[in-house]
Each structure stands twice: as C-alpha cells, then as structure tokens.
Amino acid sequence: MVYAQEHVLLRFNGHFGGASTFTDRWSVGVRLGQPSLPTPLDSAKMQTLVNSAHSAAKTLQQNAAVAAGTTCFYDQCAGATIGPSGKYAPSGQLTTLSPLESTPGLGTPTLPWNTALVVSLRTAVPRGRGSNGRVYWPATSLAVLPATGRIAAGNVANRIAGFKTFLDALNVAANTYLAGTRVIVASNVGTGLNAIVTGIRSDDRLDSIERRENDQASVWSTATLA
C-alpha cells in the first residue's frame, strides 16, 4: 500500500480547555498535490504555504456556522511533504510550523468535545478509492432541532460556504507553492491514487471523534445491586 507520489500534508492542530490550558487536543489533516506529478519539498515556499493555511484556518475557526465553541482553540498549522511510503520525504525533513496563535471558536459549548461536523471532499472519481474524503472539525456549540435532533438547513448551508472559502484559500496557497497543486483525496490502496477535490458536501447530522478525548481519564461511577 503506497501513495501515488509525493504530496503535502497539512495538519491543523488545536486544543480544548482555556486559551493557555491544554486539557485535551485535536487535529485535522488536509492533503495537497497533483494527480500525476510529485509535489516535492521547497522549504522556503513551504513556510509561506503553512502561514497562508494558518490564516485560512483561523478564519474558519471564527465562523459562527462552524460553531467550534469558546473552549475549543485552533493553535497552529504544520506542513511536510509525504512520499509514497507515507513517511516524510526527504526523511530528514523538519516539520514546518506556522506561528502559534490560540484562536477560540464561537458559541457557548453545550456538546462533548468529541462532537464534530463533517464535510465530505468529492472528486471526479465516481466511486471507490480516491472518490471522496472527509474533514472533521470540532463543533461543540451547534444546536440541534428538538423535533429532529439534527442541524438546521440554514446552518448547514452557511457551514458549506465557510468551508468552501477555507478550501479555496488552500488551493490558492497550494498553487503558489507549485502550479497545479490543489486539495486532493490521496488513497494509498494498491498502487495509490491522487484525485483533485472538485466539490464538497455536508448534511444535517453531527459526528463523533472519540480519540479527541484521549488526554482525559474516564471517571466511573458504580452501584451495587441489592
């Protein structure tokens, strides 16, 4: 199982708690590349790319429709080029980091920290590997409709608009890094396949990312039956 060729992996890292209180952590990954050409490391341009992606992520985090919540903070973007093996290429590469700036989300948090909204990345591949990917962003202050337990249609539409702005900004930054580079779905099944993301979609359901609560131990309560 290998990736088709070298590409860029961006990770958007954040935490839960207070501005300087790291109670738990979260991260979101997005890949940039081309369908048939490698996207190699250019250290100077990588810093520019990561900084631009960081600015776009801060804007997304402050989008009311995303509703990340005031106890959810986006902190920093990290970038690196990934080879077919799924490891850094070149192997001695250092992770490129943006400035560290803790940006809170909007809205009063009412949901568990593992609650996430999901945006699907769609490609021109109709089905199977490379056809779609997913981005999970924290959503601890989204309100559900009492009658359905789902999100209002207006919020979903605004969320899609916010993510389109975010991914469009990543595409601009990626093209500056290397012409023709865009947000991709990268499959490492078989010989690998990179597919350009051509559209996004999201629905009215919330999802759960359980591993976002790894830093906190469970506190159990018990009762003995008579």
80/140 Cα distance (integer angstroms):
29
Q: Which two tokens stand for residue 207?
A: 């999802």
pLDDT score of 1 more than 70: no
More confident site: 131 or 171: 171
Express each pLDDT in 137-160 by its tens digit: 999 999 999 999 999 999 999 999
Neighbours of 80 (CB within 10 A): 18
Which pLDDT belongs to residue 108? 96
pTM, rounded to two decimals:
0.93
Residue 146: inside a domain: yes
Express each pLDDT in 162-219 by its tens digit: 999 999 999 999 999 999 999 999 999 888 899 999 999 999 999 988 766 666 778 8
Q: Which two tokens stand for residue 7?
A: 């590409």
Residue 218: inside a domain: no
Residue 103: inside a domain: yes
Picking from 90, 93, 106, 80, the residue whose alpha carbon sits closest to that of residue 8 is 80
Residue 220: inside a domain: no
Which pLDDT belongs to residue 190? 85
What's the number of domains the chain is made of?
1
Residue 143: inside a domain: yes
Task: Identify the domain containing residue 26 by its residue range.
Answer: 7-213
Residue 191: inside a domain: yes
CB 129 within 8 A of CB 205: no
Three-class DSSP labels, 199-214: EEECCCCCEECHHHHC
CB 80 within 8 A of CB 9: yes
Express each pLDDT in 3-44 by its tens digit: 999 999 999 999 999 998 999 999 999 999 999 999 999 999
Residue 23: inside a domain: yes
Residue 100: inside a domain: yes
